[in-house]
């Protein structure tokens, strides 16, 4: 295995992928970390991985310097919300990888990549097509939605303040924990055969939960009934925009369209096969987040990064 360049290693998924790569025996000398802010890298990581470089998706020259010497690139999708900007950032990364001799790109996409009416997801499909038209080998990892974001599906649920869950639609979602996604992804990255070359890999949980079922789980954990109310998409945006960013709420209205259609209910057993065990139970994640203040605060901070991005990226 040659050197692997990891992007997003300070993020919620990327940091976990790095942890599993090291756990599986990858030599830290074969890891290059490309981050927007090298000063933001955890001090514990710097003690293990010494090659930390500055790479900004918005600046192809920095990416070329960051990717230099790598053979594989783990490309975590940008948190930029604006579709055109996000595609451009991904194009910068793909072009930089090609220019410096990267041979294989592993890209974190989404199971909603084909949902043309969910604009925030369109950049994924465009990026997939860029990869397929490039001369490089690629592996597209279409991820299910993180278990840890269940509050966002429940009208940005807050255990302290929410007395009624207001959403515009219901449907099944195959939630998957970040840890399970990271472990499976790390195993894909260290695979020595070519079974993932130029392939789409789908990683989802092994059971679909409707939002009504999810609300019931939440009610049971909190030991109080929290009713769920289905409203129009317009009313959903108006009501939640009183406390949330309006652009962000419109994004979630579109995601609920996909929920209603059943796009998030597809079950793929690849994750379970890679883990060689059952994935983490979704109900366990819900219980942990609702009873562990530190974990809840951590996830809130992660989600707020995307809310902030939706505000910044859509300013004129």
CA distance 280 to 311: 33
pLDDT at 297: 65
Category of 75 on φ-ψ map: left (φ > 0), alpha (ψ -120 to 50) or beta: beta
Q: Across residues 213-232, what is the average pLDDT?
A: 97
User: Does the pLDDT value for residue 123 go beyond 50?
Assistant: yes
CA distance 7 to 143: 17
| Pairing verdict, β 52-54 and 4-7 | unpaired
User: Does the pLDDT value for residue 272 go beyond 80?
Assistant: yes
What percent of the chain is modeled with pLDDT above 90?
A: 81
Categorize the per-residue pLDDT at 294 as very low, low, confident or very high, splitting at 50, 70 and 90. Answer: low
Q: Across residues 102-120, what is the average pLDDT?
A: 95
Give the highest mean pLDDT range of 40-44, 126-130, 291-295. 126-130
Confidence (pTM): 0.93
Q: Across residues 205-211, what is the average pLDDT?
A: 97
CATH superfamily, region 4-144+176-203: NAD(P)-binding Rossmann-like Domain (3.40.50.720)
If you write DSSP's letter for every residue of 223-239 in order, what string do you get?
A: TS---EEE--HHHHHHH
User: Does the pLDDT value for residue 296 go beyond 80?
Assistant: no
Token code pair at residue 135: 């001369």
pLDDT at 315: 46
pLDDT at 81: 86
Token code pair at residue 220: 């049971």
Q: Where are the domains of the chain?
A: 4-144+176-203
List of E strands, 102-252: 104-110, 137-143, 165-167, 172-173, 199-203, 209-210, 228-230
CA distance 156 to 310: 15
User: Does the pLDDT value for residue 13 go beyond 70?
Assistant: yes
Q: Across residues 175-181, what is the average pLDDT?
A: 97
C-alpha distance across the termini of the chain, in Å? 45
Residue 128 CA, chain-centre distance (Å), reads 15
- State the average pLDDT for the chain: 92
Q: Does 46 or 311 have the greater pLDDT score?
A: 46
Categorize the per-residue pLDDT at 36 as very low, low, confident or very high, splitting at 50, 70 and 90. Answer: confident
pLDDT at 45: 72
Residue 272 CA, chain-centre distance (Å), reads 18
Question: Which of helix, strand or coil describes residue 143?
Answer: strand
């Amino acid at each position: 295995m040659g050197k692997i360049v990891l992007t997003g290693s300070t993020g919620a998924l990327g940091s976990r992928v790095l942890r599993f790569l090291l756990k599986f025996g990858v030599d830290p000398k074969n890891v290059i970390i490309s981050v927007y802010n090298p000063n933001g890298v955890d001090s514990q990581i710097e003690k293990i991985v010494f090659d930390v470089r500055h790479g900004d998706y918005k600046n192809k020259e920095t990416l070329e310097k960051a990717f230099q010497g790598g053979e594989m690139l783990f490309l975590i999708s940008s948190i930029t919300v604006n579709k055109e900007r996000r595609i451009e950032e991904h194009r910068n990364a793909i072009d930089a990888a090609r220019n410096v001799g990267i041979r294989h790109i592993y890209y974190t996409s989404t199971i909603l990549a084909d949902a043309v009416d969910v604009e925030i997801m369109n950049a994924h499909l465009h990026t997939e097509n860029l990869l397929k038209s490039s001369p490089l080998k690629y592996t597209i990892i279409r991820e299910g939605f993180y278990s840890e974001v269940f509050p966002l599906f429940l009208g940005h649920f807050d255990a302290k303040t929410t007395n009624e869950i207001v959403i515009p639609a219901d449907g099944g979602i195959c939630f998957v924990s970040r840890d399970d996604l990271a472990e499976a992804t790390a195993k894909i990255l260290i695979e020595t055969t070519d079974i993932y070359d130029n392939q789409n890999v789908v990683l989802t949980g092994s059971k679909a939960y409707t939002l009504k079922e999810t609300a019931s789980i939440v009610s049971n954990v909190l030991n109080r009934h929290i009713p769920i109310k289905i409203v129009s998409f317009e009313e959903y945006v108006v009501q939640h925009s009183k406390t949330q960013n309006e652009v962000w709420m419109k994004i979630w209205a579109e995601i609920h369209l996909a929920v209603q259609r059943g796009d998030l209910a597809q079950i793929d057993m690849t994750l379970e096969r890679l883990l060689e065990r059952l994935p983490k139970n979704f109900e366990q994640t819900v219980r942990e987040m609702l009873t562990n203040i530190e974990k809840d605060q951590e996830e809130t901070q992660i989600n707020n990064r995307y809310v902030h991005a939706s505000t910044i990226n859509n300013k004129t």
